Structure 1
Amino acid sequence: MNIFKRLLNIGKAEIHSAIEGFEDPIKLTEQGIRDMKEQLAKSVEALAQLKALSIRKKNESETEDQTAKDYYNKAIILVQKAEKGEVEVTEADRLAKEALKKQASSQENALSLKKEHEKLQEECEKMQGNINQLKSSISKWENELKTLKARVQVSEATKDINKKMTQIDTGSTVHMLEKLKDRVMQQEAMAEAYLDIAHAGKSVDEEIDAIVKNGDTEAEDALQKLKESIKKG
């Protein structure tokens, strides 16, 4: 079948080249599977008709067999009646011969119908085998389609990531980071410089008062401890 050859060629193609190609492999595969399912439905319908014909031939063959047996029994009855004197011998013989002729004709028809039935049965078995193979092929290609879709998604995602990576200016990014680092270091140095300026800006009186006030605090603490020890004593 042409569809199998077409799908086989798609399966052998590289994913990237298939995507970039003129025909979309996913759409082609989906169409191929739809075609196979349509063919499967037609084959099943044809098989049903063939089986119906085979059954009909079998039934007709069995009917002819029974008819042959009936004619044979009728011939026997005619001969028996002639022997009993119930029917003239000449008339009985004539009718018995006709019955035997009809018996032979029915047997011949039964044999022909049986052969037709056997031939149709063989064709049914072959068609059933083809249907089973077609079902297997459909299942196989449906699984292949799932894999193909997954691979396409991965390849597309990878392509997008790689494309974005190529658009990133690494040198520019590093340069910006270096500028940011210099700016932070400059701000830290400026803060330290302002602190030094603040300390350097104190007057002599401010320095003296800071030390004196610190001494007063120490004296106040000592006096408080003395008072507490007297109370305890």
Structure 2
Amino acid sequence: MGLFSRISNIFKAKVNDTLDNVENPIQLLDQKIRDMEENLNKAKLSSAQILGNVHEIEKKMNISKKESADYDEKVKLALSKGNEELAKKALQRKLELDKKYESLKSSYNEAAAKAEHIKKNLRALEEEIEKTRHYRDEAAARFNNAEASKKVNEILANVQTKNNSISIDDIERKIQRKESLAEGLGELKDIDNLDKEFEALESVDLDLELEKYKNKQ
């Protein structure tokens, strides 16, 4: 395994550890999007320089092409006047400009291809950022739903645990004891009332006894 492969594996392991330790994974997604946007901005600045070079080379190509065309006319003019020496000088200058143009064209093609490759990568990165944003929104909704479900389940589990700690049978026994006590007290009250009725029957009628006493005299 090469050095870069080992470094890559170590980095992936650290990222996985971070994912496991972060309570809210949406924060990681937000950071990922920020990092991608920062890289996109840096890439755009670099590509702007390359595109600027492409346009600069293109301008030089056009100038060389125009100057070459001008010297071509001068060659023709010198020949028409019978001045071959001047025609040779003009032709030499034209050939130099043509060579310069070809060199610039080669540089232009290379720079243009590089610029196109960079623009393609920029578009791919922009698409990746957009996909990550969509996934972030979807993941946030799923995460929030999971958190809400977790809280509900925790509440229900807590209620269930409390309910399990209270025995219905114990409650029923307590109610029955209360009912029995109430019935017992009611029976005692009835007994007291019955005793009072008998006491009333056995009580002495003083008026009657007084009349009896008078009659004896």
* TM-score after normalising by structure 1: 0.61
Partner letter of residue 41 of structure 1? Answer: E
Equivalent residue, structure 1, for 2:170: 175
Give how far 1:76 is off.
2.1
Q: 1:150 to 1:139 in 2, by over 3 A?
A: same
Structure 2: 5+ residue stretches without partners: 1-7, 202-217
Equivalent residue, structure 2, for 1:58: 54
8 A contact 2:33–2:132 mirrored in 1: no
Q: 1:37 to 1:4 in 2, by over 3 A?
A: farther
Say yes or no: does 1:95 pair with 2:93.
no
Q: 1:135 to 1:5 in 2, by over 3 A?
A: farther
Give how far 1:156 is off.
3.5
Partner letter of residue 35 of structure 2? Answer: Q
Say yes or no: does 1:83 pair with 2:46.
no
Say yes or no: does 1:36 pair with 2:36.
no
Instruction: Measure, in 2, the Cα distance between the counterparts of 1:53 and 1:160.
Output: 59
Partner letter of residue 95 of structure 1? Answer: A
Q: Which 10-residue stretch deviates more, 176-185 or 114-123? A: 176-185
**Aligned match of 1:154 in 149, 152, 161?**
149
8 A contact 1:57–1:114 mirrored in 2: no
Q: Give CA deviations for 1:2-44 in whole Å, capped at 9, x if unaligned.
A: 579846995xxxxxxx7xxxx3431xx2342233122222222
Q: 1:25 is paired with a residue of what secondary structure?
A: coil
Instruction: Measure, in 2, the Cα distance between the counterparts of 1:4 and 1:37.
Output: 20
Instruction: Measure, in 2, the Cα distance between the counterparts of 1:84 and 1:59.
Output: 38
Equivalent residue, structure 2, for 1:229: none
Give how far 1:45 is off.
0.9
Q: 1:71 to 1:132 in 2, by over 3 A?
A: same
Q: Percent identity?
A: 9
Q: Which 10-residue stretch deviates more, 128-137 or 178-187? A: 178-187
Q: 2:127 is paired with a residue of what secondary structure?
A: helix
RMSD between aligned residues: 3.7
8 A contact 2:30–2:136 mirrored in 1: no
Equivalent residue, structure 2, for 1:72: 68
Equivalent residue, structure 2, for 1:25: 23
8 A contact 1:57–1:116 mirrored in 2: yes
Structure 1: 5+ residue stretches without partners: 11-17, 205-233
Instruction: Measure, in 2, the Cα distance between the counterparts of 1:191 and 1:177.
Output: 21
Instruction: Measure, in 1, the Cα distance between the counterparts of 2:137 and 2:61.
Output: 50
Give how far 1:187 is off.
4.0
Partner letter of residue 25 of structure 1? Answer: E
Q: 1:127 to 1:158 in 2, by over 3 A?
A: same
8 A contact 1:54–1:121 mirrored in 2: no
